[in-house]
Structure formats: structure tokens, C-alpha cells
Structure 1
Amino acid sequence: MGKNIAVVGTGYVGLVTGVALSEIGHNVTCIDIDEKKVARMQQGESPIYEPGLDEIMKRSIEAGRLHFTTKHEEGFQGKEIAYIAVGTPEKEDGTADLRFIEAVAKDIAQNVKQDITVVTKSTVPVGTNDYVLKLVKENLAEDVSVDVVSNPEFLREGSAVYDAFNGDRIVIGASSVHAGDLLEEVNKPFGLPIFRTDVRSAEMIKYAANAFLATKIGFINEVANLCDRLEANVEDVAAGMGMDGRIGAQFLRPGHGYGGSCFPKDTSALVKLADAVGYEFDLLQAVVDGNKRQKLIMVDKAKEVIGSLKGKKIALLGLAFKPNTDDMRESPAIDISRELLLSGAEVTGYDPIAMENAPHFMPEGVDYVPSAEEALQGADAAILVTDWDEFKNLDMSVYENLMAAPLLFDGRNTYSRDVVATSNVEYYSVGRKPVNSEKKVEVR
């Protein structure tokens, strides 16, 4: 029998969580303060770009299992479980901002009229769930029982719907056996392995997992930079490494650094969390520092090849931090465009999905155009930032025919060097030998 569940927050984590729970048979009400956003969702329209989400949303709404509201009292009415899925953005000092978590904890306390299990889906520092329990108990309007559970998410933007139903594990960190059993019952229909532990260990699992993956990305980027100097091929190196079962092939793709809503803030937050308890997490701090440098790797290459970028027209292909999402948070495109503009270049940007979000994150001065072809028209150089399929399928002749100088800096190693070698495009990638560099394309 399905449970009655409230989910507070309808960003990537909250909306996918609510939709997935309704799909497996629970009665879910998603709560958000944005009236326009809620009105859209009530019509089955997802406010975020996430493949497959709209279809499941509409199906669950039509089945009467998925609801949306801006009214907290209505949202919590009769609910056994309340999920917290609001943002925990990075503050200027690198620590996690818990203001939204605090606000939701107080809202739950003031609106519930029955025993409640509070489930934190948001990524939070170790010890936050203890704080949430304290806040809820201090602000309760009714004499009810409260439990807390840490149930971290492991969703990848762009494939979050798939991950919700096909993940590696579901982590449940409970403050009581009853609360743990309840969450296990809620999640059992997913048919995924369930790992139970204490609350603080569950909180730490999320940070440790993201920090390890970020470290793996950082490591292969450092290896790629070394390959550049030693004339080795990082793709072959990564393939050879990945065949070792102890290492694995995932997250060994070099590029211009990680971005998005998770890795940047979570790595910084874990470093700060370590600082707070008197431990210097030197390895992870090096990963954070290296990632900042890596974002500009293609700009550095462009300066080496071209010299001064002043007055040069540079096309940016891809603005979102990764394909299949419109998320611009911590995208390398932000730092790349800022550095190009500071160097006096003219910057033209295009992305298949993120064009509406981009101006809210990118520096002023970027010229946005509606197609890759228009971005490349008359460009002195192009930097491929996001490896969308649209760009993977772009023939080299497009670069040759449209650009003032067919000079391409590929920050995602999108193209085969053999394919590029049959063209006149001068090509630079990450950790691989240049192609056609001897032709030295004439830049105006």
C-alpha cells in the first residue's frame, strides 16, 4: 500500500524524487513557493530539462498520485513522511548554506498534525540531520512524534530519471529502527539494493562518493596535462588504466574540469567540514584547486597557438556544464568566456538547450546565437565546451567552410583525431597530440 508523502522543493532532486515515488505507487504532494512553477507542474510541464521526466509526471498526475501546491498546510496534511529536497548552495567561504533546510524544518514543525518521519534528500554536512531534528522539535505546533532519516540522492543530471529506477544502491541512515524500516518499505518497489547505516555515516557517504569521483576526474585531467608534454595519448592511457578492475573505466574522461550543482560545492564543503574539526584534507583541496585551473585549459592553449586574443572572434559550442541538461551552475563556459572577454576577444555562444538559462550565469558581453553554424560564421577559433550529440555529428567541413580560420580547441575530446586528420582543421584537444598543427591556420 502506498504511503502519503510530502516533498519540499522541486529542483532536480525534489521533482525527480517526487515523480519517482509517485510512479512506484505512493501518494505524493510536491511543495514549492513559486506559484508560476507550481502552475506549470500541475499541467504536467517540468520546469527543468530532464529526459523522460514530463512523461512520468503526466502519467502520475492523471493517476491521481502526484500533486503540487504552494500551501504548506495543505501539502503536509495527512502525510506520514516529509522529504526535504531544497538546495544547499555554496557560501562564499566554501561551506554549505543551510538557510533553506532550516526554513523547511520549521515549516514542517508548524504544519504537521500527526507523527512524521523527516527525510533529508538534500546534500548536507555531517550532523545536519541532528540539527534538523532539533529544529523540528523546538518549533512543533502539535504534540507529535518526529524521526529523521538521511536518504542521500545519487542522481546524475541528464539521466536522473534513469538513475532513480536503476541506481546502484539506496542509502538509508536512520535515527531509529522504526524510521529505517519505514524508509526501506517506501523504497522497496524500486527493487534496488538498500544499504542501512546510522544518520551521520549516510551523510558522509554522499560527500565521500562525490569527492572520490571528483578526485578521479581531477587525476585523469592531471595525467592528460602530463601527456600533452610527453606526447602520450591520454585516451589510450585511460583505457589501459580502466581495464584494471580496481580502477574501472568510469570518470576517466579528460576535459576542462567538472561543474554542475554537486561536485564543486560538495568538494568545497567537505574540505571546510574537515577544517572545522581540525583536519587538513590536502588531497581534496588539491583537487579543488586543480579543477579551477583545468577550466581554462583550452583558453591557455588558444593563447599559446594564436598569441594575443584581442579582437579575435571566438565561438563557444556548448554552454551547459554537461550534455542533456540546461543547468549552467559552475559550467566551465562561465570561466572560459570571462577569461576570453578579459583578453579582449569577441565571444559568441550557442547551446542546444541552455540558451534561456545562460545569460543568468555568463558574464556580460557574450553574444548568443541560435545555431552552431551562426556561432562559427567568421570565427577565428572555436572552443568546444559541452559534447552534445549535435556537435559530435558536426562535419569538419562545417568548420572549414564557415570559420575565418578553421581552428578548433576541443575541451571534451569529442572528435577522432583520424577523422580530423582528413580535413584542414587545425585541432587541439586534451592530452592528445594536435592534428594539422603543421598547417598553422592563418588567424587574422
Structure 2
Amino acid sequence: MAKPIYTWKKNLKPQVLLDKLSQIVQVTADGKVSFVGWDYHEIIVALENMVEIKNASRDLYLPSLISKAVTQSAKENLDNNTVLENLNRLARDHLATKIKNYRVLTSLSLPLSYPQKKFNVGNSQIHIVADFPKKYQVQRNDLLSQADDMSKSNGSDTHYSKVIVYCKSKSPYGAIKQALEDLDLWRGILCLFTNYKMEMVGDSYKPVNTIRLGKFHTLHEENGNAALNKLYWFEPNFVSANNSKLNNPKLLIKNTLFFINTIAEHKDKSLLTEGVVRYVRSLDEKDQNTAVVKLWATLETLATRGESNCDAISRRISFLFEEYNYHAQILEHIREYRNSNIHSGLENQNAKNFAFQLQFYFYRLFLFYVKSIKDFKSIDEANKFLDSPKEKNKIKEEIEKLKLALKMHGKE
């Protein structure tokens, strides 16, 4: 039997919600299913969150699948086993469909003279273009004509560089997810090198990132048609940015390619990709308190994966510096702020400074992971190294202990 794509998360009880659905479901003689009242929508959202998605392909769109699985199960039996069986069957059927080519049209606040126009990132190919081809532009204009007045008037992105992301997927939802993730991987690495390191005077509600996404993203099939009828994507926190400036474009491209290629070869490339994507999306926030909380969570994902070790981030990142006690205290004070923001909602007018500081530490940690790819087999192994003692005498003590262990259990 094939391994299930989806399972229920442990310690949750989906049957309680399915019992509630059983009370409001109606199935006609010809097999049509309907649900009475508003509880259905609340229950479907909760059931979606109860599904474990670790082994699922990004080609799968869980909200649609769980809704169809529940509807089908209503004709049979609304219990958690039946729903899960239908959910996995629908997922397998979907994954058996053919891969299609898609195009995502968007824009970035890149320098208008960015020297490289085509390159591969992840599973996508990114093209910087002077203008969108007519067959896409007509459909895009039609889609964006539906945008509300507030979205249209919320700052301008007409000066941004136009970008087309070429990708392949078995579903439109998988395509847009892949395209934006690959685009943000590239954009995030660019921001690591182009963002300001600190800002003494400036707008506290202006995002830290210098290279930001345009307002709207549209998804198209090869022939130019919209891939999902009237659906488009938009940036809810859009703040217009000036086109970024590059001091040394050739060096930037060289460094960016080094990072992208190293990530692609790394055993934990999915984790590193997630880290960069979360980093750049954190610093897209115009609310700096939110940016700090998100970026700290990103550091947790990398430096303390699968651990509940509250002081490990400060300890491990400070290991990278000669003045480790100083950097440990800087990180600790940000952690204290982050905790106060999470638990009591307290905010701080210095939050943007904290965001810049965390950006610096994210860069140094990420640089360590990338440059030490040949020294450590995994991120977990690299993190374990960061727990090493810092003082010279303690390091020597550990060496002597390891020599003793080698003598006892190995060969001299």
C-alpha cells in the first residue's frame, strides 16, 4: 500500500468536527450534498489545519481537496478515516495529471539597468523584460480591472521592472506558489547584499527591503489566458519603493549566483530556501514590530530546528563573533523585546533598529551555513558545532577528552 500523502495531526480530534458536520449535512436522492448554516465554513478551515502536510507536494491545493473530500465522504460516512481516504485518493489522482507550463507576471523595484535579464532559480526561469507580451498584457489588464479603488490608489509601481517567471506545475496553485517562492529566493539574496545596514534617519513605517514586489501578480497559461478565471494575487501591505541602486552589479551577480548554487547543492536546501524566503518576506513588512517577530521566528527555524531551546539562538549566533559576549547581549535584548511583543502586545519605537540588527545576524548565520557546506553534512550538524566552547582552555579540554575517547574506542 502506498504511503499516505496526508495524515491527521497528532493530539487533534477531527471526528468532533465531523460529528458537527453530520448534523447539518443534507444529501439528496440524486447524490447532491449541501450544508445548512455558516458552521460549514468554520469547520472546513479547522479541518484543513488538522491535516499534516509535511509529505505533500506543493502542486496540491489543500483547501480545495479537503472540501471535495468532505463532500464525497458525506455521501458515504463522515468519519475521520473516510475523509482521510478520500483526501489521499484525490491527492493521488491530482498528482497523476500532466505537468503544464505557466507564466507569472509581476514586477520588482530593481534597477532599470539590471545587467542580467534571464536566469534560473530553483525550478523557475526568471526573465526581466521591457514590457509584457501583448497576449499576456491583455489578459492581465482584464484581471486587474477588477481590483478595488483602494488597491489601485495605494502607491505606484509603474516605475518597477517588469518580470515574467516561467514555471511548470500540475496545478495553477502549485505554479504560483513555486514561482513566488523562487522569485523571493532570488530577491531575498539580492536584499542580503543591497539592503541598508542601518538607518539613522528615515520613515519608521517604510519596509527595510530595497527590492520589493509590485502590487499585483497574475498567472497565465502558455497561450496567455488567465490560469484561474478571474483570480489574481496582490500585496496587501504594498508600499511603493524607489528603484534600488547597485554599486557593483558584476560582484552582486557573482555573489548571488554563489549563494543560489550553494543552496541548490546543500542537503538541507529546502530549509535554507525557506529561511531566505521568510527573511525577505519579514522585511517587506511596514510594521516593524511585526517584521522583528517574523524575522526572529525565521532564525528559530534555522538555528533551533525542532528544538525548544529559548537561549540557543543567542548562544549559537554569538559563537560566530570574536566579541561573542557583546553580540549575545544584543541578541538577548531583542529576544526580550520579541517576547514582550508576543505575550503582552507591547511595541517599541526602536523596532526598525531591531529589524536591522536581526538582518545583520541572519546574514552572518546564513553566510556560515553556505560557506561551511563542505564541513558539515547538515544544518543540524552545523548548529551542533555552534554549541562548541568558546574559551581556549575549554576547547583544549574537549580535545583531550576526545583523544581519550579515541584511545578507548578507536585506533590511535
Identify, as 1 or 2, the structure richer in helix.
2
What's the TM-score bracket when you normalise by the shorter of the two chains? under 0.3
The one of the two structures with greater contact order (alpha-carbon pairs below 8 A, sep at least 6) is: 2
TM-score (norm 1): 0.25
Relative to the length of structure 2, the TM-score reads 0.26
